[in-house]
Structure 1
Amino acid sequence: MTASAACPSFAGYRFPAEIISQAVWLYFRFPLSLRMVEEMLAFRGIVVSHETLRQWGRKFGQAFANGVRRRLPCAGDKWHVDEVVLKINGVTQWLWRAVDQAGMVLDVLVQSRRDKQAAKRLLRKLLKRQMRAPRVMITDKLASYGAAKKEVMPSVEHRQHKGLNNRAENSHQPTRRRERQMKRFKSGGQAQRFLSAHDGINNLFHFRRDHVTASEYRAARALAFEVWSDISGVTART
């Protein structure tokens, strides 16, 4: 095992790191329910309950996502920001998400409001994590974005046009698929925890398929698997 110094500890767990990391990868990488992952592992002769899988996701998901973030190159200088509604137990919540021009998710934030204060909270969170302001911020025509930007990063160019923000809107699609698979999120906190890990992990496997050859795509995928193996502390398969 060639574990990274930053990988989480598997000490005290009955199952080895390889099984735990694969289960976490399956759950966050693909639109699978916990019971589906349980059945896939059972096919391999690995008997583990869906509740144990849930605990593994909570324990290791965000840790792996943090490891991915440390390994990826700096985000682009063009931020696309958008928000979509989440219905959680009959209550309206708003999922705010920012992506760069390559489609890499910069951050997500679940909030109960869709106003200037909510937009300011997202922008401040982004600046703290990215440690620099973007060159351009692109949003739809929600007035809250312009009001928040004037206070948080007034010198940044702001383009407001619904047609320009398709990249951010498209980034919500995997969330919608997971929302359906999970039969909706149970709380705002659960949605925040899951999506923070989900989007962070999937950034590692965000491959361009257009204008690349099959060999280039496979090379990028192999490199992502190597990084994942190092982050999760599991020897990569060759």
Structure 2
Amino acid sequence: MAPLSYARHQFPPAIIQHAIWLYLRFTLSYRDVEELLAERGVEVSDETVRRWVLRFKPAIAGNLRRLRLKPSPRWHLDEMVIRVSGKLMYLWRAVDDEGEVLEVLVQRRRDRAAACKLMRKLLKKHGFAPTQVTTDKLRSYGAAFRQLGVTAHHEQGRRTNNRAEVSHQPVRRRERKMQRFKSPASAQRFVSLHAAVYNCFNLQRHLVSRRTLRTFRARARADWLVATAAA
């Protein structure tokens, strides 16, 4: 775990942590965060909030990933169209059967090479091969699995991949709020960080009791505090 250094910042770490949490946890703009902080008597500009997010988000995302448990070996892969600088691109996403985001990758194409790149990153990042992979009917997945020697059971169907398709919704809402992504690199940086924060606070509240939800929420908050702790 890498503690964060808040040295040479005008505001105390607690305010910086809260501003970053607001922006990453909810579908808010930098100006929305500025307004929420002003309501609490903290005068900070939206540009300052933006600099805080850019400065600390790589370390926070890395710390949050280190706190996660090993994912399930049953993976769901899907891709969706996004618009970056006026051009259509594809956001490839992999989640496990419990909704944990395993990898998010922005690519220009929707072919075998793109599917291979996603699978290579998944295998290298998690260190094990899945036992079952569920995708839509895009034939590039099967070609990529054969090229990489992935022997997992490959399931395809009309509604069998709802887990991955539903996981696109938070990013789609963010895309609208941000008025599209400005470049492929900035889109990749944002979706990678958003996935780490989403995994931390994705509590599946519709599946658990209120008491269990309070426990999960307290644990998520504790993980966030550990990930953003000052050096």
1:147 to 121, 124, 143: 143
Residue 91 of structure 1 is matched in structure 2 by 87
1:28 to 24, 28, 43: 24
Q: 1:26-83: per-residue Cα shift (whole Å, max 9, x none)?
A: 1111000111001111112222221221121122123212111111110111110000
Residue 138 of structure 1 is matched in structure 2 by 134
Structure 2 residue matching 1:163: 3-state secondary structure: coil
Cα distance in structure 1, aligned partners of 2:175 and 2:34: 19
2:152 to 153, 156, 160: 156
Residue 179 of structure 2 is matched in structure 1 by 183
* Aligned CA-pair RMSD: 1.2
1:172 to 162, 168, 171: 168
Residue 44 of structure 1 is matched in structure 2 by 40
Cα distance in structure 2, aligned partners of 1:57 and 1:152: 37
1:120-131 equivalence runs, <5 A: 120-131=116-127
Residue identity opposite 1:113 in structure 2: R
2:227 to 228, 231, 234: 231
Cα distance in structure 1, aligned partners of 2:215 and 2:143: 44
Residue 193 of structure 2 is matched in structure 1 by 197
Residues 1:110 and 2:120 aligned together: no
The 8 Å contact of residues 86 and 95 in structure 1, kept in 2 or not, is answered as yes
Structure 1 residue matching 2:208: 3-state secondary structure: coil
Q: 1:133-191: per-residue Cα shift (whole Å, max 9, x none)?
A: 11111100101111111122432221122311000000000011111111111111111
User: TM-score if structure 1 supplies the norm length?
Assistant: 0.93
User: TM-score if structure 2 supplies the norm length?
Assistant: 0.96
Residue identity opposite 1:50 in structure 2: D
Structure 1 residue runs of 4 or more that deviate by more than 6 Å after TM superposition: none
- Percent identical across equivalent pairs? 48
Q: 1:186-207: per-residue Cα shift (whole Å, max 9, x none)?
A: 1111111111111111101111
The 8 Å contact of residues 133 and 153 in structure 1, kept in 2 or not, is answered as no
The total of aligned residue pairs comes to: 230
Residue identity opposite 1:25 in structure 2: W
Residue identity opposite 2:37 in structure 1: L
Structure 2 residue matching 1:162: 3-state secondary structure: coil
Residues 1:11 and 2:7 aligned together: yes
Residue identity opposite 1:231 in structure 2: A
Structure 1 residue matching 2:83: 3-state secondary structure: strand
